[in-house]
Amino acid sequence: GAGVSQSPRYKVAKRGQDVALRCDPISGHVSLFWYQQALGQGPEFLTYFQNEAQLDKSGLPSDRFFAERPEGSVSTLKIQRTQQEDSAVYLCASSFIYRNTEAFFGQGTRLTVV
Amino acid sequence: QQQVKQSPQSLIVQKGGIPIINCAYENTAFDYFPWYQQFPGKGPALLIAIRPDVSEKKEGRFTISFNKSAKQFSLHIMDSQPGDSATYFCAASEDNAGNMLTFGGGTRLMVKP
């Protein structure tokens, strides 16, 4: 596809349920980022991959959050035992590796935990 | 700790007006400052970006002004149109942090016809 694709677009989970959010980056983009955007707020960094290597996971809010990118392309963000405070839009972005190049964002997955 | 502070939170202007959105940062290692535009239900899209070796950059109706000593930068939208109504985010990143972006809190802009 031409852009970053995320699925599902919307997810409603019962509290305690596990969820998996998928990101298909732009073909050839080495870097992949996950951000969390709470309602009315700016996106906040969660984690960063360079190819299949997870170079930074300092933004993951708890050990219930896990991300992977096993083949250096598609990435999955998994949230275990979801809590109401996990409700947010989860954005994926990809870019080339070069300095200060544009990060392209997907449309996000809106997660609502009830 | 909020490393990039953005103001105002919301802004209403008439068509043709020049909204100005301001951002201030603390981390002197930041060296890339993009502005993103986000429409409801969409992901952020890059508008314009600047590096600290220049004080101003223009692309179409959008201008970034950058003051390195004050650690501040701002976005001006010339001849604003109703279609510019969106949420605008400033952001910053360090050269050695991949392209990990630290975002401001956002400004919700409404341009009235």
Does A36 lie at the interface with B, CB-CB under 8 angstroms? no
The count of other CB atoms within 10 Å of the CB of residue A106 is 24
Q: So what's the pLDDT on residue A53?
A: 95
Ramachandran region, residue A79 (left: φ > 0; alpha: ψ -120 to 50; beta: rest)? beta
CATH 3.40.462.10 correct for A5-113: no
Share of chain A above pLDDT 70, in %: 96
For residue A51, name the pLDDT band (cuts at 50, 70, 90). Answer: very high
Q: Tell me the shortest Cα–Cα distance from A43 to chain B, in angstroms.
A: 6
Mean pLDDT of B98-112: 92
Interface size, chain A vs chain B, as Cβ–Cβ contacts under 8 Å = 65
State the distance between the two ends of chain B, measured CA to CA, in whole angstroms.
38
The ranges assigned to domains in chain B are 4-95
Four-point Cα dihedral A58, A64, A69, A73, nearest 10: -100
Does B62 lie at the interface with A, CB-CB under 8 angstroms? no
To which H or E segment does residue B66 belong?
A: strand B62-67
pLDDT single digits (tens) B13-72: 999 999 999 999 999 999 999 999 999 999 999 999 999 889 999 999 999 999 999 999
State in words which class domain B4-95 has: mainly beta
pLDDT single digits (tens) A63-91: 999 999 999 999 999 999 999 999 999 99
pLDDT at residue A100 tops 70: no
C-beta separation of B59 from B48 below 8 A? yes
pLDDT at residue B95 tops 80: no
Q: Two tokens at A66?
A: 């896990």
Q: So what's the pLDDT on residue A1?
A: 54
For residue A102, name the pLDDT band (cuts at 50, 70, 90). Answer: confident
Q: Work out whether strand B10-14 and strand B107-112 pair parallel, antiparallel, or are unpaired.
A: parallel
Q: Pick A105's closest partner by Cβ from B32, B44, B100.
A: B44
For residue A101, name the pLDDT band (cuts at 50, 70, 90). Answer: confident
Strands (E), A1-114: 5-7, 10-13, 19-24, 31-37, 44-50, 53-56, 65-68, 75-79, 88-95, 104-105, 109-113
> In chain A, which residue's Cα lies nearest the Cα of B96?
A99
- Distance, CA of A52 to CA of A29 (rounded, Å): 12
Q: So what's the pLDDT on residue B2?
A: 61
Asked whether the beta carbons of residue B101 and residue A31 sit closer than 8 angstroms, the reply is no
pLDDT at residue B103 tops 80: yes
Q: So what's the pLDDT on residue A96?
A: 85
Chain A interface test: which of B36, B39, B99 (most A C-beta within 10 Å) = B99
